């Protein structure tokens, strides 16, 4: 898949799974496996051995990847599907723009 509907930094809502109806910011996207890591969603408990960074080790809570099909982009406070529109500029270069299906508006990049 050349273009992905969900990007790092987007706010998404979980629509399926144990974290259903939770919202958060996308921390990372794995395009190859179709997974996203969302801040505060799909928390798992991990046991860590003592290391140089964590001298004591112990039990740590961290986010686990969730399938990209289980999240929906939040735009203007509402979940929406994402579409694409291809435009050509003055130099005849293609530009792919993400579109919110609910409103038809262009999705601004959040950085």
Query: 64-73 pLDDT, tens per residue?
Result: 999 999 999 9
Q: Cβ contacts of residue 61 below 8 Å, gap of 6+?
A: 43, 44, 45, 46
Angle at CA of residue 13, ends 10 and 15, nearest 5°: 140
Query: What is the rounded average pLDDT for all residues in the chain?
Result: 90
**101 forms bridges with which residues in the sheet?**
none
Which H helix or E strand runs over 30? strand 23-30
pLDDT band at 1 (very low <50, low <70, confident <90, very high): very low
Whether the CA torsion 37, 71, 81, 78 is positive or negative: it is negative
Structure token pair of residue 83: 């579409």
| Best CA proximity match to 28, nearest among 41, 39, 20 | 39
pTM over 0.85: no
């Amino acid at each position: 898949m050349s273009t992905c509907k969900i990007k790092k930094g987007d706010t998404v809502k979980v629509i399926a799974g144990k974290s259903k109806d939770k919202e958060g910011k996308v921390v990372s996207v794995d395009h190859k496996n179709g997974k996203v890591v969302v801040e505060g969603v799909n928390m798992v408990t991990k046991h860590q051995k003592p290391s140089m960074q964590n001298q004591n080790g112990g039990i740590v809570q961290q986010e686990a990847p969730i399938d990209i099909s289980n999240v929906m982009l939040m735009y203007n406070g509402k979940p929406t599907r994402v579409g694409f529109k291809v435009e050509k500029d003055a130099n005849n270069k293609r530009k792919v723009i993400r579109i919110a299906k609910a409103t038809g508006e262009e999705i601004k990049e959040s950085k």
